[in-house]
A and B are shown apart, each in its own frame.
Chain A
Amino acid sequence: MSDSLLRLDKVNLSIHETPILHDVSLQVHAGSVLGIIGESGSGKSMTAFSILQLLPQGAVCSGNIHFDGMQINNLSEEQLCHIRGNEIGMVFQEPMTALNPVQNIGAQVAECIALHKSVSRSQALTQAAAVLERVGLPNNEFPLTRYPHELSGGQRQRVVIAIAVALEPKLLIADEPTTALDVTTQAEILALLKQLVVESDMAMMLITHDLAVVSEVADNLVIMRDGRVLDHGPTRTVFNELKHPYTRALYDASSHTPERNASIEQVVPLVELTDLVCEYPMARRSLFEPRKMFRAVNQVSLSIFSGESVGLVGESGCGKSTLAKALLGLSPIVSGRIMLRGEQVHSGVKVSNKVRREMQVVFQDPYSSFNPRHRVGRLIAEPLHLLENQPDKHQRVKLIRVTLESVGLDGEDANKYIHEFSGGQRQRIAIARALIIKPALIILDEAVSALDVSVRAQVLDLLAELSDSHELAYLFISHDLSVVRSITDRVLVMKQGQIVERGDTDSVFISPEHNYTKTLLAAAPQLPQSNAEASRI
């Protein structure tokens, strides 16, 4: 096609002889947005890096890459430097580490301008100020002398975007630009990117794992897996037809709702929190001032019945993880009361093992949740420490096997080390560790947030099945509204340490009352309805 701004033709890439990309072909039209979707390891980021030839050491790239009517993959390093930042801008996933921590933001934006245009330093800074203004960082609030550590994640991402669009490039490559951000910030950044694309008639390549994010922005889609392009076409067509089986699987997994048949008819709640307050000390600003305390959880009350799944939703820093730690007795509480089955168990600092036996936890990061030096059997048996009568060796081995099997793993896995398992399997092991002492409540702290959608769907199914078979209650903490909606009976919305809204999941999602809940729901990207899906039902 003649009007394509960027065209990749059978691009192959290998790093240290490991093949990464296989015959990747795609194109981006001038002024349009191409979404590239894939799970981890699909090669979507490497596709982006090979366009600018910003590849790790040992990478070998072949094939043709045409940009603006010119083949660019065989250009000299000097010629590539001229294109980078000038004609193609790039935005990265991690705003926290994407900026130089020892340079102020003005210098970092101005550097890009001064590099490609013959302007004086002060002119470059004036232009940098204008660009920062354009990406929503007005100079009176965010002077050029600010350093990255003085900005929030969303604000840093705006600086990265400012660097990328400073010279009004023809193409903007955004690699998971919102993945590390909260929902409302994500919505703002997406809106900003859309606005910039329209304003300066720029093309954009948006790389993401999130179908819903891309469906709102992209004109065309490319779906990748294991370094290959599996499906492509206009966004609407791809979603409507779900032609390729993998596209359909992704779509299904993204909107997956596990089947549950919970029945809750109790008078006494399993766990009841009343007016819970947690604080932690802030960094000292001056030697002479007393340390200020930050109130992370402010007068929170909630109750969970046995067998029930309760969602706790909020953005980062709202206090939801502190609340979970307080409940587990890992974080001190300032005031308030925790009752277990109608008995007061916690008013001071220490929690008894009797309480801990009833509550276990699964964390977000499947990689840091396990001691890499212990075998799986020892890992999942750790909570047995809480039992008054320690099981003998034989019972222990049996218990480990049964628990592993109940989360869908093999009893033999007990002898392996944790690095032999994938992320999804590790979360199963984490669930097994929580399950082994048969607790009444499991706190799931962002337990599926780090997983790919297809794996996430499987883990959600497992959780639903276990809650039915073991009469388990869940406190499901997450920032991801669609997941919370799919697995919880009741939901609480938390903001700045307080619960601002609570109610049945469906009614809160359908008719939210508090403004913050409305903002959250509006900000959450929606998966479009698919005709293929509709016709199947």
Chain B
Amino acid sequence: MRLRSFILGALLVLIFFSAALISYVWTPFDITQIDIKLRFKSPDFTYWLGTDHYGRDMLSMLMIGARTSIAVAIVAVGIGMLFGVPLGLAAAAYRGRFLDEAIMRGNDLVFAFPALLIAIMITAVYGPGALNAIIAIGIFNIPVFARLSRGAALSLWKRDFILAARAAGKGVTRISFEHILPNIANLLIVQGTIQFSLGILAEAGLSFVGLGTQPPIPSWGRMLADSQTLIYTEPQLALFPGLAILLTVLGLNLLGDGLRDWLDPRLRHER
């Protein structure tokens, strides 16, 4: 059962990743060509998923949309890890001291601003754009990774092998990277997939309300926003972008669960 859902997850993720990659070199149709005559076509053998209100091929739009979603989410998770993990490790290494307190209070502060609020503030200042989404989601990811790595590192710092490393004369930074980081890597990978899927949802949400990716670049959230006004007449336009988001996120979550079971030796013993 578990293995099956893991494979399903991996398969879904693989499909959307390859769709995104293939779209760089090939899409079934050129989406920059607008032909109103071809609009609102139902799915057939030429247009597998039909066409939108500008007569663009939905499948091609979705493939390029996958590219946007995945790119935004990957960069956002990268930002979160790049800043969050060192902060969390530092907080754990100097636990109870001023640095720890400062980092944790900073985390609380960021948690008070949901990603959408950050995006709203940035948009208010610089206007909308895909970069907004990346920065907003990335900032929101920092405390997530900081808390996770601090918590995991704290329990490792209590272990005797850290004392042994200190008795061997190793310093805080060296211990953090040599002993702590490899031991929390699994946790970070699993959390990474979860944040990745949340990032895709968040990017779709921001683009949906016009704070993220801007036309003419296709994005799943944007496509749903366009279909919203047409929902009475052409409800099928809302179907495929939504399904694309759902299946990608589902795939990532199943993959994350599977990875956790596989990487966490504690769970492995139980089976």
Return the chain A residue nearest B181 by Cβ.
A373
Which of A19-27, A198-206, A378-386 is the interface stretch? Answer: A378-386
Query: What DSSP secondary structure best describes chain A's contact surface?
Result: mixed
Please give the number of chain A residues whose Cβ is less than 8 angstroms from any Cβ of chain B in the complex.
24
Q: Mark B160-184, 1 if CB is under 8 A from A, else 0.
A: 1101111111100000000100110
Q: Answer whether residue B159 sits at the interface, using C-beta atoms and an 8 A cutoff.
A: yes
Complex contacts, B164 vs chain A, CB 8 Å = 361, 363, 369-370, 382, 430, 433
Alpha-carbon gap, A385 to B174, bound state (A): 12
Given A371-B183, A373-B182, A330-B168 contact (CB < 8 Å): no
Establish whether residues A382 and B165, one from each chain, have CB atoms under 8 Å apart when the complex forms.
yes
Establish whether residues B161 and A385, one from each chain, have CB atoms under 8 Å apart when the complex forms.
no
Of A363, A373, A386, which one neighbours B168 at CB under 8 angstroms?
A386
Complex contacts, A455 vs chain B, CB 8 Å = none
Of A353, A359, A363, which one neighbours B163 at CB under 8 angstroms?
A363
Establish whether residues B169 and A356, one from each chain, have CB atoms under 8 Å apart when the complex forms.
yes
Establish whether residues A382 and B168, one from each chain, have CB atoms under 8 Å apart when the complex forms.
yes
Complex contacts, B163 vs chain A, CB 8 Å = 325, 330, 361, 363
Alpha-carbon gap, A371 to B185, bound state (A): 13
Distance between B192 CB and nearest chain A CB, rounded to angstroms: 18
Of A330, A368, A386, A419, which one neighbours B161 at CB under 8 angstroms?
A368
Return the chain B residue nearest A355 by Cβ.
B169
Of B166, B169, B179, which one neighbours A371 at CB under 8 angstroms?
B179
Q: Mark A336-371, 1 if CB is under 8 A from B, else 0.
A: 000000000000000001001001110111001111
Complex contacts, B168 vs chain A, CB 8 Å = 356, 382-383, 385-386
Q: Counting chain A CB atoms within 10 Å of each CB, which of B163, B166, B168 scores highest?
A: B168
Return the chain B residue nearest A352 by Cβ.
B169
- A460-479 residues with Cβ-Cβ distance < 8 A to B are none
How many A-B Cβ pairs are below 8 Å? 52
Establish whether residues A385 and B183, one from each chain, have CB atoms under 8 Å apart when the complex forms.
no
Alpha-carbon gap, A368 to B265, bound state (A): 14
Alpha-carbon gap, A371 to B159, bound state (A): 9
Of B159, B160, B167, B182, which one neighbours A360 at CB under 8 angstroms?
B167
- B200-254 residues with Cβ-Cβ distance < 8 A to A are none
Complex contacts, B183 vs chain A, CB 8 Å = 371-373
Given A371-B179, A371-B183, A373-B183, A363-B160 contact (CB < 8 Å): yes
Of B159, B166, B182, B265, which one neighbours A330 at CB under 8 angstroms?
B166
Distance between B100 CB and nearest chain A CB, rounded to angstroms: 14
Complex contacts, A370 vs chain B, CB 8 Å = 161, 164
Return the chain A residue nearest B170 by Cβ.
A385
Distance between A216 CB and nearest chain B CB, rounded to angstroms: 33
Establish whether residues B167 and A328, one from each chain, have CB atoms under 8 Å apart when the complex forms.
yes
Complex contacts, A360 vs chain B, CB 8 Å = 167
Return the chain B residue nearest A386 by Cβ.
B169
Complex contacts, B165 vs chain A, CB 8 Å = 371, 382
- B17-64 residues with Cβ-Cβ distance < 8 A to A are none
Q: Mark A185-214, 1 if CB is under 8 A from B, else 0.
A: 000000000000000000000000000000
Complex contacts, A419 vs chain B, CB 8 Å = 265
Distance between B82 CB and nearest chain A CB, rounded to angstroms: 22
Given A368-B159, A368-B161, A385-B169 contact (CB < 8 Å): yes
Alpha-carbon gap, A382 to B170, bound state (A): 9
Complex contacts, B167 vs chain A, CB 8 Å = 328, 330, 356, 359-361, 383
Alpha-carbon gap, A383 to B166, bound state (A): 9
Distance between A184 CB and nearest chain B CB, rounded to angstroms: 26
Complex contacts, A353 vs chain B, CB 8 Å = 169
Complex contacts, A365 vs chain B, CB 8 Å = 160
Complex contacts, B265 vs chain A, CB 8 Å = 372, 419
Complex A-B: 10 CB contacts under 8 Å:
A356-B169, A363-B164, A371-B165, A371-B182, A382-B168, A383-B168, A383-B169, A385-B168, A385-B170, A433-B164
Residues of A bordering B, CB below 8 Å: 325, 328, 330, 353, 356, 359-361, 363-365, 368-373, 382-383, 385-386, 419, 430, 433
What 3 A-B pairs come out closest when comparing CB atoms? Answer: A363-B160, A368-B159, A383-B168
